[in-house]
Structure 1
Amino acid sequence: MKNDLQKTLKHNHIDLSNLSYLQRIILITDGTLTDILEAYLLEHIEVLKVSEKVEVTTKEIPILELEAGSEIIDRRIFLQGKNSKKNYLYAESKIVLGRLDEDFKNGLLKSQTPIGHLWLKFRLETFKEIIDSGKEPVNELSAYFLDTEPKDQLLFRTYRVFSNRKPIMMITEKFPQSYFI
């Protein structure tokens, strides 16, 4: 039984048994990460948009079942503590505009509301499929995470979000391994 559990804990490129409970939860949950962070940190979490642009794809994106010439939002954000102003998580998203409800799309483009809170607000039914996880160096993101150096490690996960059985977004979330120990 224990050997079977160890095999289950190896999630793609990372051995989850070497991580803290919270790090494992963050990497494998399909719940709203913002709510998990707020409960753990006892601090309201806000979105700090680094960039967000609507663009037309020049090539197909198979993971989103998307042909070249489709409109997407390319979004990069930090989840940041409202009071502490500490960045806890960095995320990159590719979001298919043509598959979004108009109210959800406007909330995404015109507010600082986390995606998970928008899902709840607009009652968007979603399914998440984690497609990758692992570790990588913090590199240039060390300038945005307190107490990290470029050589330190980030934990990351990438997942697809489906609605109405179609992929509507691909999100990669990253946080320093030294966080949430």
Structure 2
Amino acid sequence: MAQNQLNLTELSAFQRVILTTDGTLTDILEAYLLDHIRVIKLSEKALTTRAPISALEIEAATEIVERKILLQGQARHNWLYAESIIVPARLGEQFRRQLLESNIPIGKLWVAHKLETFKESIVSAREPAGKLAGYFNIRPEDPVLYRTYRVFSQQQLIMMITEKFPESFFV
């Protein structure tokens, strides 16, 4: 299912790690940067889908949560932007509550709740930064690298995540 639109040989070793890992990205960034990474929630909305989302195997009129965040270092440097579409009905109550009410990164919640997950890559690619440029102090035409993946727990899809960062980072 994965579609890689990037030539991985043109990327730095750490860019390749970010785009291909199935580990907790927050922990990986903290280890690489020697910095504490925190979540800055930009938006989080409970919605009802108007159309099916085949990548999440949900029908129209399904309740979802759309979440947009930044992973930010101690010096308020934004390292990564992420968008998630979450199916709350497929999550345990305590996990769902902490996800929606706290600023704990999703990966750290998976660990804290001992939630077994499987991540399936959908796409890795490059696009212009556009509206995200201001978060990273780059120009809208500057490229960002991104990956989108689906997250399964107990053999059911629980969310889809897209993570983006400027191509000029981690070189």
Question: If the length of structure 1 is used for normalisation, what is the TM-score?
Answer: 0.92
1:173 aligns with 2:163: yes
The CA distance in 1 between the partners of 2:71 and 2:49, in whole Å, is: 26
Match of 2:154 in 1: 164
2:141 to 140, 151, 157: 151
The CA distance in 1 between the partners of 2:4 and 2:132, in whole Å, is: 23
The CA distance in 1 between the partners of 2:129 and 2:166, in whole Å, is: 7
Question: If the length of structure 2 is used for normalisation, what is the TM-score?
Answer: 0.97
The CA distance in 2 between the partners of 1:14 and 1:164, in whole Å, is: 31
2:56 to 35, 60, 64: 64
Q: How many residue pairs align between the two structures?
A: 169
1:105 aligns with 2:96: yes
The CA distance in 2 between the partners of 1:80 and 1:18, in whole Å, is: 26
Deviations 1:94-133 (A, max 9, x none): 0001100001101100100000000001111100001101
The CA distance in 1 between the partners of 2:150 and 2:90, in whole Å, is: 14
Question: What are the within-5 Å matches in structure 2 for residues 107-146 of structure 1?
Answer: 107-146=98-137
Following TM superposition, the consecutive aligned residue runs of length 4 or more in structure 1 with deviations greater than 4 angstroms are none
1:41 aligns with 2:33: yes
RMSD: 0.8
User: Share of identical aligned residues, percent?
Assistant: 57
Match of 2:7 in 1: 15
The CA distance in 2 between the partners of 1:60 and 1:142, in whole Å, is: 30
CA positional deviation for 1:68: 1.0
CA positional deviation for 1:34: 0.2
Q: Which amino acid aligns with 2:46?
A: V
